[in-house]
Amino acid sequence: MFLTTVSFSWLSIILTGDKSAEQFFIYSGGKKMNLKHVVAVGLTIFSFSSMAVSASLSKAEFCSDRKDKDYVKELALENEGNMSFTNHGGIANGGVCWWHSRFVRKALYLTYYKPELPAPTIDEAVEIIEKIRSGDEVIVIPGVSNFREFSRQYSALIQSELENWQLVDGFIKQSWIVGLAGSHEVKPKNLKKKMDELYNYVVKENNIAYEKLQIKGITAHAWLVVDMKKVKGGYDLFIIDSNYYSYPIEYNYRDGDTSFTHPFYGNFVPYLEQKGEMKKIKKVISKYCK
């Protein structure tokens, strides 16, 4: 049963030319949208500064940056803050989206870089990757300037770790069962309650949220909600999806909805999870920067 719990394809992406952002389209709430426009809107309503942020390059920068409540979310909007490869592989080639998303969130919060130092050896890179996965400490990564560079140079090692993580969680911890909890469609008042709670968690408590997406049957995907905007009659969500890593993607929830909708997967309901993991990340940062 576990073999089918993680879906691989998530976004409805149509490639019409080269791989520039302008050539991709996505579905947002069932509407076909040009990704360039989504990014432009997202950057505006996130209320972030117009100046792009970059990865922290020292302990002093790391601690200073993380005192800024918007910094990690701004970094999540930048290519350099995200993984260099999309969700793939895993058991029966079903993907590792749950673990890909969790790994990216930890890297956003807990790493800084020393490009002037020699690049890690294979053994050193493996140790760094294991530390990111555990999330028990702040990690200094030498030889590169940001997470995207690191994940590009050591993509095979990271993918191997994600697949090992999947095996441990799936067969030893049996956590795949959690991904099957809940319905793919709920009453409007219940979904509104979930969205109100998510807004409070993401915006008021200033977290990047990890959500499992319960699709009909026994499939479940995952994404990161970077930010939300309260609009008339609902919310606009801005997400990082492991099947499309370059830019945040907008999804529009409106009051009265009983589910989210995707043209390939039909209806699904997002469930907020791994709150304890986010709390632990913040404690690690607080202890490191005290």
Helices 97-110 + 155-167 axis angle, to 10: 120
* 22: CB partners within 8 A, 6+ apart: 34, 35, 36
117 or 247: which leads in pLDDT: 117
Confidence of residue 21 (pLDDT cuts 50, 70, 90): very low
Mean pLDDT of 134-158: 98
| Each residue's pLDDT tens digit, 234-266 | 999 999 989 876 567 888 999 999 999 877 667
Confidence of residue 16 (pLDDT cuts 50, 70, 90): very low
| Each residue's pLDDT tens digit, 63-76 | 999 999 999 999 99
| Each residue's pLDDT tens digit, 185-238 | 899 999 999 999 999 999 999 999 999 998 876 578 899 999 999 999 999 999
Average pLDDT score over the chain: 81
Predicted local confidence at residue 63, as pLDDT: 98
182 or 25: which leads in pLDDT: 182
Predicted local confidence at residue 171, as pLDDT: 64
140 or 175: which leads in pLDDT: 140
User: What does the alpha-carbon distance between residue 271 and residue 225 come to, in Å, rounded to a whole number?
Assistant: 11
| Each residue's pLDDT tens digit, 74-94 | 999 888 999 999 888 888 878
Confidence of residue 10 (pLDDT cuts 50, 70, 90): very low
Predicted local confidence at residue 140, as pLDDT: 98
Give the rounded percent of residues in the chain with a pLDDT score beyond 90: 59
Domain edges within the chain: 51-177+277-288
| Lowest-pLDDT range of 47-56, 182-191, 278-287 | 47-56
User: What does the alpha-carbon distance between residue 41 and residue 44 come to, in Å, rounded to a whole number?
Assistant: 5
pLDDT at 106 over 50: yes
3-state helix, strand and coil shares in percent for the chain, rounded to the nearest 5: 45, 25, 35
Map tokens 């202890």 to a residue.
Answer: 287
Closest of 26, 43, 46 to residue 34, by C-alpha: 26
Predicted local confidence at residue 93, as pLDDT: 77
Confidence of residue 276 (pLDDT cuts 50, 70, 90): very high
Pair 109, 79: CB distance under 8 Å: no
40 or 161: which leads in pLDDT: 161
Predicted local confidence at residue 221, as pLDDT: 86
Strand 234-241, strand 244-254: pairing: antiparallel
In 146-232, where do the E strands start and end? 209-215, 220-231
